[in-house]
Amino acid sequence: MVKQTNTQMTVPLSGRALLGWRILQAVFLVAGLGILALLFFAPQPGIHAFWNGLIPVAPLLLVLLPGLWRNVCPLAFSAVLPHRLGISKKKRLSVARQGKLMLTGVVLLLLILPWRHILLDTNGPATGLVLMALGAVAFYMGFRYEWKSGWCSGMCPVHPVEKFYGSRPLAPMPNAQCTSCHNCVIPCPDSTKFLQPQKQGNTRFHKLAATLLVGGFPGYIWGWFHIRDYYGTEGLRHILFAYAMPLAGMAFTLALYLFLREIIRVEKSLLTRVFAAAAVTCYYWYRLPALIGFGIFPRDGMLVDLSAQLPHFLPYLLQVATLLFFSWWLLWKPHTQTSWTIRPPFVGSRE
């Protein structure tokens, strides 16, 4: 029997608290299904709600309360559904396979994001189909593998970013997905304190995934924001360019990361937090102004156009505030080490 090695207290959820979480999960599921329906039947409001309403909140949530995100994500519902229906094959993942899934998640993330500019940001049904495909894969991974190991803690393309941004959560949440622990993945990302991508495993797949993400993601985000959204089929003629800018930015920060890690030998966990602060700052540096009509490309990613009402120095204030906040949160603020969620009591063990 292999036990989890990096654990904290185990606390079961009381019936009332669990009911509250189930209601919250149902609200997010219904909201998710509502947005999905909008993407097909009223694409403009759907695109607005998904890409300009929901998604811009996600990185902040991953920094502050990744456990909340893990509890209410509709794709997580899809991933654990086979277990709740009693039809999962509950296959155990080897450590090497966990590493391969983690690398697959990083590659998926890097492959999917440019398609936002090429097609998804301006095409509701295409976004809806991608979400449905991800939901189907999440369901299959839950059907095949033990509990959350295949998707939520494995191949999900958001999971590497959770580990990258979420090393200093505000507080541990109750674990509302795992009411009891099946010991499905070691170390458990939900229950391990101060988890970072490079601490998930030691195979070459784990290492490659962590290095690509931590070193490359800040530059990738910078490059991504310097591509405009294409309309209709125009994006199909710019696929190479849509990939080239993010990958060029990624190559630059990856080289810098390797230099600092291997030559200067900056401590790894600190370097990871510096690069996480850079990545999430870069995201909001461009995203916040764009949401209110001050973006680099006028129509792209705009929630509401306030450019005529607000002073033109406001975006700069937002950018400085973003830089200060995430630097403080990830680098300077004193933290008690905590996990994303509180581990539930064990009921299972590894064979």
Give the footprint of ligand SF4 on this chain (CB under 6 A). Answer: 147-148, 153, 175, 178, 181-185, 188, 190-191, 343-344
The 10 Å Cβ neighbour count of residue 93 is 21
Q: What is the CA radius of gyration of the chain?
A: 20
**Residue 181 C-beta: closest distance to ligand SF4, Å:** 3
Give the residue among 291, 314, 311, 295 at the shortest CA–CA distance from 303: 291
**Residue 88 C-beta: closest distance to ligand SF4, Å:** 12
Among residues 206 and 343, whose Cβ is nearest to ligand SF4? Answer: 343
Among residues 13 and 245, whose Cβ is nearest to ligand SF4? Answer: 13
**Helices assigned H by DSSP within the chain:** 15-41, 43-47, 58-64, 66-72, 74-85, 95-118, 124-144, 159-165, 204-224, 239-258, 268-291, 314-327
Angle, alpha carbons 140-141-143 (nearest 5°): 60
Angle, alpha carbons 161-165-169 (nearest 5°): 130
Question: By three-state DSSP, how is residue 130 classified?
Answer: helix
Asked whether the beta carbons of 98 and 209 are under 8 A apart, the reply is: no
Among residues 176 and 213, whose Cβ is nearest to ligand SF4? Answer: 176
**Residue 158 C-beta: closest distance to ligand SF4, Å:** 15
Among residues 78 and 183, whose Cβ is nearest to ligand SF4? Answer: 183
Asked whether the beta carbons of 145 and 311 are under 8 A apart, the reply is: no
Alpha carbons within 13 angstroms on the beta-carbon side of residue 213 total: 30
**Residue 105 C-beta: closest distance to ligand SF4, Å:** 15
Give the residue among 189, 187, 124 at the shortest CA–CA distance from 156: 189
CA dihedral sign of residues 147, 151, 154, 158: negative
Which residues, listed in sequence order, are joined to residue 223 by a DSSP beta bridge? none
Q: CA–CA distance from 347 to each of 154, 183, 220 (Å)?
A: 21, 8, 41
Among residues 117 and 343, whose Cβ is nearest to ligand SF4? Answer: 343
The 10 Å Cβ neighbour count of residue 286 is 23
**Residue 98 C-beta: closest distance to ligand SF4, Å:** 12
**Residue 143 C-beta: closest distance to ligand SF4, Å:** 16
Among residues 8 and 307, whose Cβ is nearest to ligand SF4? Answer: 8
**Residue 172 C-beta: closest distance to ligand SF4, Å:** 12
**Residue 204 C-beta: closest distance to ligand SF4, Å:** 23
Among residues 13 and 274, whose Cβ is nearest to ligand SF4? Answer: 13
Among residues 25 and 183, whose Cβ is nearest to ligand SF4? Answer: 183
Among residues 13 and 280, whose Cβ is nearest to ligand SF4? Answer: 13
**Residue 4 C-beta: closest distance to ligand SF4, Å:** 6
